[in-house]
Structure 1
Amino acid sequence: MNRLVERIEARTPAHRDRAVDGLRALALLAVPTGHWLLGGFTLSGDGALHNASPLSAFPGLAPVSWVLQMLGIFFLVGGYASVLSYRRRTGSTRAWLGGRLARLGRPVLGVTAVWAVLLPLLHFGGGVPVDTLRTASTLVVQPLWFVGVYTVVTALTPLCVRAARRLGAWAAAPLLGSVAVVDLLRYGPHADAVPSWLGLLTILPGWLFAYQLGVSWGEGRIGRRHAWALLVGGAALFATLLLAFGYPMSMVGVPGEARTNSHPPSLLVLALAATQSGAAILLRERLGRLLARPALWAPVVVVNLSAMTVLCWHQTAMLAAAVPASYAGEVAGLVGAPDSAGWILARLAWMPVFAALLVAVGRYARAFESPWTRTGPGRRALAGVLAAGFAVFALGMG
């Protein structure tokens, strides 16, 4: 381990922004932590697994979701890093975008193609109920929506750079305003007359907001004064929306609740993203000094090198424990209604197991992050067909 730490330290360029990498790793690890802590399974009479959440029985846990919902930080850092990469590009903008989008697409194609093969094997070979497979497919797809949105946002980087150079920190303000208008329409006094699809209009501006802040930050247009404004203003807006306008307390969807903050993103998501972004910018120098220590820097590098693997496969790791356990009936913290303090304690005990399974799966799954230089057009086409088939099944159209 010491040799690995020394090797990573020796290979780190002096100009590397360790704080930004640290923020990315923190936001990334919050995704599996949140899904593993706040996602449970119930067991039906036929032995099938169904999704459940401890938030239904313990609404007081909602503040946990405020901490673990760190996609605002992820988009902020993504915008910042994209600016640096965009400046260093040696080819055309189109080639630059193509390279970045390929790095996002390969792991997604890999995990969905593998699951397309696993589904019939598990059902016909292992006797896994179809409802369990639908639950599993939903969980696997759940984090992948983020990749799709992030892909679109990344493609808008040149436009975001222009906006940042012209408007500076204010470039993100129209995005905040557009989400506020949509929220007013769908939650205001005339909400009954508003079509249900209107909320979808917040998906792009809702997640582009923090990315645009990151681009402006990378362009040097956001300083400490702006960061304090984001922190204080975002926190004030967050509290106002919760206390005065009745927004749901949880940042993630809760089974049985009519409203959700994240799908599609509400104004509360942007308020949290602004708060987190302001705090991240203010803490950047302190975090950079902390990560100057090789022992702390090495895990950050490892997590960042496996970013898409963690994102795409962490639900598979949890399912690798839950599906076999379902044959034994209810297992504390793994299979059974998440409605007791005992379940929460047991789930915490399962977390290291999920992490170990993710490491085991990731040893092989990381190959999907590398360029597919040895994969011919025929195999790529087959992977695409398999991925499409899995998507159809996962979305309930199969």
Structure 2
Amino acid sequence: MRELIRRIDAATPPGRDRAVDGLRALAILGVVLGHWLVTALVTDSGTIRGAGPLQRMPQLAPVSWVFQTLAVFFLVGGEVAARGHAAARAGGATYGQWVGARMARLFRPVAALLAVWALVGGGMLASGVEWGTVRTLCRLAVAPLWFLLVFAALTAATPLVARVHPLWPLAVVLHVDLIRFGGLGGPDWLPWVNEAAGWMVPYCLGAAWARGALRSRGTGWALLCGGVAATAVLVLGAGYPAAMVGVPGAEVSNLAPPTLAAVCFGLAQCGAALLLLGPLRRVLRRPAVWAVVALVNLSAMTVFLWHQTAMMAVTSLGLLAGRPLPGLHTVPDGAGWVITRIVWLPVFAVALLACWAAFHAYEQGGRGRGGGSRVVCGRPPGRMTAVPIPDGDGVRGEAP
């Protein structure tokens, strides 16, 4: 292990900003933990259905403020894509080569997920599993794909989006919400414009970061304080939900599609992320800590796509106990559920590790010259070692 850590540290280019990878790892882990804490599956007359603890315990809304970290992921995505595209152009790569490599990194793991769940869903139906259960499980498994489609569209449009000031998509979100909640009518599809505009705000911030426009700590403080103040006004004064995730049964969700409150909250998160850069750079000088962050980034899409499957696998296997297990199959309606759910988190993590072992190779395949990531496993005496080497677009694993 020490030798692997040493190789990872030695293989990292001196100019690599490790804090960017640190933010991406924190964003991914935040989403994973958040989903595991606010998503519940309960058994009802032999059928598994979804339930949400925030529906019965709205006082837990601050949990969503900590773990809903998608804005940070889009911030980092915009920075990495803009910088990677500029580096690819400087190196002579065409737009097609660059975007092809980026899309392959995103969608090859998706193909594996869809193939597995097509087989699982078909197998459950063929064996007589109730349709409601199959629908609940399959919807949870593919739920992360909505985010990926938006992220892929913004990535493909990076050469154009990188030139857009973040205030323009923010203005779009504001006007859509004015029409949506101000009683001004509008077509049914109009709110879904915010699905692109809302996440374009942190993505454009990331592109501005890549151009060197967000270097001042004052910018971070302005985003943090301004975002917090705007979110508080919208929640306390304009009636927006306090939870920054979807709550089953709620009339309005801050995420489906993103509301002005969610976007302002995301700006606050982006400000906090920029302020964390200095401390993260100092922490990530430690080879052992950097090795963990590099490995998470190497399999970021695998972790993101399979974390719900890992939770569902544990939940399904728990049914073999013959009775509902607290925190796993019981209704999330009190402190007892919260405590027992936290106890289950390490079990979910072990299941996710098993999913990673089975499917991470789909993310770590070879890459072309347009950027992205590839993994080449060499075979030193007695073992196979993959050493992640960060590059401009992601993490490239390569055995020395």
TM-score by length of 2: 0.87
Equivalent residue, structure 2, for 1:85: 84
Output the CA distance in 2 between the equivalents of 1:149 and 1:42.
30
Aligned length: 362
Which of 324, 344, 349 is the aligned partner of 2:317?
324
Identify the match of residue 182 of structure 1 among 176, 182, 193.
176
Name the structure 2 match of 1:214: 206
Provide closer, same or farther for how the CA distance between residues 297 and 9 of structure 1 changes in structure 2, counting only shifts above 3 A: same
Q: Determine if contact 1:179/1:206 at 8 Å carries over to the other structure.
A: yes
- Larger deviation: 146-155 or 113-122? 113-122
Pairwise CA distance, 1:85: 0.8
Q: Is the 8 A contact 2:298 2:364 kept in 1?
A: no
What percent of counterpart residues are identical? 45
Residues 17-36 of structure 1 correspond to what in structure 2 (within 5 A)?
Answer: 17-36=17-36
- Hey, what does 1:68 align to over in structure 2? 67
Describe the SS at the equivalent of 1:42: strand
Q: Name the residue aligned to 1:135.
A: 136
1:248 maps to 241
CA distance in 1, matches of 2:264, 2:358: 38
1:36-88 CA-to-partner distances (Å, cap 9, x unmatched) read 0111112111x111000111111011011011111110000111111221121
Q: Which amino acid aligns with 1:158?
A: P
Q: Aligned AA for 2:278?
A: E
Larger % of helix: which? 1
Q: Which of 299, 309, 326 pairs up with 1:306?
A: 299
SS at match of 1:41: strand
Matched with 1:378 is: none
Give 1:336 shift.
Answer: 1.5
Partner of 1:167: none
SS of structure 1 residue aligned to 2:255? coil
Equivalent in the alignment of 1:54: 53
TM-superposed CA distance for 1:227, in Å, is: 2.4
Q: Secondary structure at the match of 2:275?
A: helix
Whether the aligned pair in 2 keeps the contact of 1:313 and 1:361 (CA below 8 Å) is yes
Residue 194 of structure 1: how far off its partner (Å): 3.5
1:395 is aligned to none
Cα distance between partner residues in 2 of 1:372 and 1:147: 21
The match for 1:388 is none
| Paired residues for 1:107-186 under 5 Å | 107-125=109-127, 127-163=128-164, 171-186=165-180
Correspondence for 1:98 among 96, 100, 103: 100
**Contact between 1:43 and 1:329, CA under 8 Å: does it hold in 2?**
no
Please identify, of 212-221 and 281-290, the stretch whose mean Cα deviation from structure 2 is larger. Answer: 281-290
1:301 alignment partner AA? A
Secondary structure at the aligned position of 1:112 is classed as helix
The C-alpha deviation readout for 1:327-375, integer Å capped at 9, x for no partner, is: 52311010121112111111000000000010011111112213389xx
Q: Deviations over 1:132-188 (max 9, x none)?
A: 22111111111111110000010111012333xxxxxxx100111110011111111
1:79 touches 1:214 (CA, 8 Å); kept in 2? Answer: yes
The aligned counterpart of 1:40 is 40
* Residue 2 of structure 1, CA deviation: 2.5
* 1:217 CA displacement: 0.6
Relative to the length of structure 1, the TM-score reads: 0.88
Of the structure 1 ranges 275-284 and 193-202, higher mean CA displacement relative to structure 2 is found in 193-202
Matches of 1:129 and 1:21, distance apart in 2: 43
RMSD between aligned residues: 1.5
Matched, 1:334 2:333: no
Q: Structure 2 CA distance, aligned partners of 1:18 and 1:223?
A: 16
CA distance in structure 1 between the partners assigned to 2:308 and 2:323 by the alignment: 20
Matched-pair contact (CA < 8 Å) for 2:65–2:243: yes
CA distance in 1, matches of 2:17, 2:270: 17
Once the two structures are TM-superposed, the CA of residue 241 in structure 1 deviates from its matched residue by 0.5
| Correspondence for 1:205 | 197
5+ long unaligned stretches in structure 2: 368-400
Determine if contact 1:54/1:338 at 8 Å carries over to the other structure: yes
Distance 2:26 2:351 in 1: 20
